Amino acid sequence: IGEIACRVIKTCKKMGIKTVAVHSDVDSSAVHVKVADEAVCVGPAPTSKSYLNMDAIMNAIKQTGAQAVHPGYGFLSENKEFAKRLAAEGVTFIGPDTHAIQAMGDKIESKLIAKAAKVNTIPGFDGVVKDAEEAVKIAGEIGYPVMIKASAGGGGKGMRIAWNDEETREGFRFSSQEALSSFGDDRLLIEKFIDNPRHIEIQVLADKHGDALWLNERECSIQRRNQKVVEEAPSTFLDPDTRRAMGEQAVSLANAVKYSSAGTVEFLVDSKKNFYFLEMNTRLQVEHPITECITGLDLVQQMIRIAKGYKLQHKQSDIPINGWAVESRVYAEDPYKSFGLPSIGRLSQYQEPLDLPNVRVDSGIQEGSDISIYYDPMISKLVTYGKTREEALKKMEDALDNYVIRGVTHNIPLLREIIVHPRFVSGDISTKFLPEVYPDGFKGHMLTAGERRELLATAAALYVAAQLRSQKFLGDLSRQWELCVELDKGVHMLGVSRSGNNYTVEIDGEKVEVSGEWNLASALLPITINGKHRTLQFKLRVLSNLAASLSKHMPEKVPEDTSSILRSPMPGSVVAVSVKPGDNVAEGQEICVIEAMKMQNSMTAAKTAKVKSVHCKAGDTVGEGDLLVELE
């Protein structure tokens, strides 16, 4: 929520413009509220009662005498009614006019306009699909696979891929429910699904005087559930001719709807560099910082200037590609559950890696902030910049290693793996990257034998350093320690010897040298292992020999029979329950639907069985691990 508000406020301060933040009651101490000059509460936590509550926001505008509104992204940023109401009050909407929002916000109309403007489009049905049976008929005509998506949609909400009639019926039902709850509009359309494409978008900038520019592309192919995870600019895939062709089509579409402001035209690009118009986002994109890094333009400043009626200051030939920028979206999500299911909690420790050169962090939170079930789980956008892609990626590695987030589960382990993966490094990517590289889901970093030794040696050295600090060994003048360290259920006997800040650890006959300052109060520990520099964040559990020998008598927790017990995989609210005690269910049959952070998730039966008991009803709020339904 607050991330984009903080970003806009930063540019306003630079331009000498005073700002008013709006917030829900649970966000009253949010960062964007603190950095704005004034703040107004617009309602309780649920978005429909606060951030989507137009009456309350219009009142806040009147009350403060605000002259303009920057809608950020999400919420009301692409809502034509909101833009109309602002215009009626004589308040400037920092974005395009209502005609462009309406034309591009409707995926059906936008496709027709794109076709007329000679923009390449995907084969599909140019109309609203009435019901599930009509969806099946159209899908048959286009040919599977098809994509069913909300006409008013965006952000991966209300989208389903179907490979057969059954999936089309189910996809139609889910997409229309999700579209209704996310956008208040359940109209759907169907088009051919292009298998294995890249997602490449073009940033455009247009003024109210008929001039428009394209500011190069952003490669956004690394996605999960149609939401972007890692983005970069430029793309490794485009040659100058394809880039120019895409840029010119994007500008021609912007001109066709008399677009003014910053906007983004998204394309799907196949392996042969054919590109097809996907949609136009009539707002600032989440990933705009990477374009700012390679062009040197402040897009928020450009939007404000354009809204005020100024002409563009640049010509197309002025727009450079300087260097390379990469953005990682840092989410409060558990990456081990379908590449990221939302996680909630309080940030007990939070430290951004801003002391590193060429690192930018756009965030709207701080230590002590709460990540709640009401809003998007994004913590920040971590951006690194370099002269070359290699340099930008190396900086991203360091930045992720130096980012401290405690109190919520986060996706840094997944981001860290993606940016060093050979396929990603070589630029061999598509929107299928994550499911192809991790077909069984993300399991975390797989340690090599050398890394295991380094980790064990560091744990041992760290333990001894901590013990020495607490003076436990003071009476014992020996420089030798025997320790037992457990890693992944394996137990290792280690010998440690010390000389000043240097430790020599012997593991299975091999020696590892570990040295460092050992500042144990810091969340980050820079150390040298066998001459290589490493940055560590750590949690240790070390047992004395006696405790280690007794621990084998501790009873093991028996894993639960997950086929008979359905628990909520994340915190959220129950939208629907489709079974009652005594019902017979088939394997894969839907039992209930949980909504969390604006995404609906269908919970299905793991086996064919009778329903023994139901522990939730529609409207309930559930926590992660809460019991929903038991089968016999």
Active site residues: 283
- Scanning the structure block, which residue is given the tokens 């930018």? 360
**Long-range contacts (CB closer than 8 Å, 24 or more residues apart) made by 431-440:** 431/196, 431/197, 431/198, 431/199, 431/221, 431/223, 432/195, 432/196, 433/221, 433/222, 433/223, 434/222, 434/223, 434/224, 434/229, 434/339, 438/339
Give the phi and the psi of residue 351 in degrees, each rounded to 5.
-145, 115
Burial string for 88-113 (b: 16+ CB within 10 Å, else e) reads: eeebbbbbbbbebbbbbbbbbebbeb
- Ordered DSSP codes for 96-111: --HHHHHHHHSHHHHH
3-state secondary structure of 134: helix
Decide if 254 contacts 282 (C-beta within 8 A): no
Decide if 44 contacts 50 (C-beta within 8 A): yes
Q: Which residues contact 26 (CB under 8 A, 6 or more apart)?
A: 44, 45, 370, 372, 374
Decide if 575 contacts 177 (C-beta within 8 A): yes
Decide if 61 contacts 89 (C-beta within 8 A): yes
Nearest CA among 431, 438, 436 for reference residue 417: 438
Burial class (CB in 10 A: 0-12, 13-18, 19+), 621: exposed
Cα angle for residues 397, 399, 403 (degrees, 5° grid): 120
Between CA 200 and CA 278 the distance in angstroms is 10
Burial string for 539-563 (b: 16+ CB within 10 Å, else e) reads: eeebeeeeeeeeeeeeeeeeeeeee
3-state secondary structure of 518: coil
The helix or strand, by DSSP H or E, that contains position 135, with its residue range, turns out to be: helix 132-142
Nearest CA among 396, 328, 389 for reference residue 358: 396
3-state secondary structure of 183: helix
**What is the pairing mode between strands 378-386 and 324-331?**
antiparallel
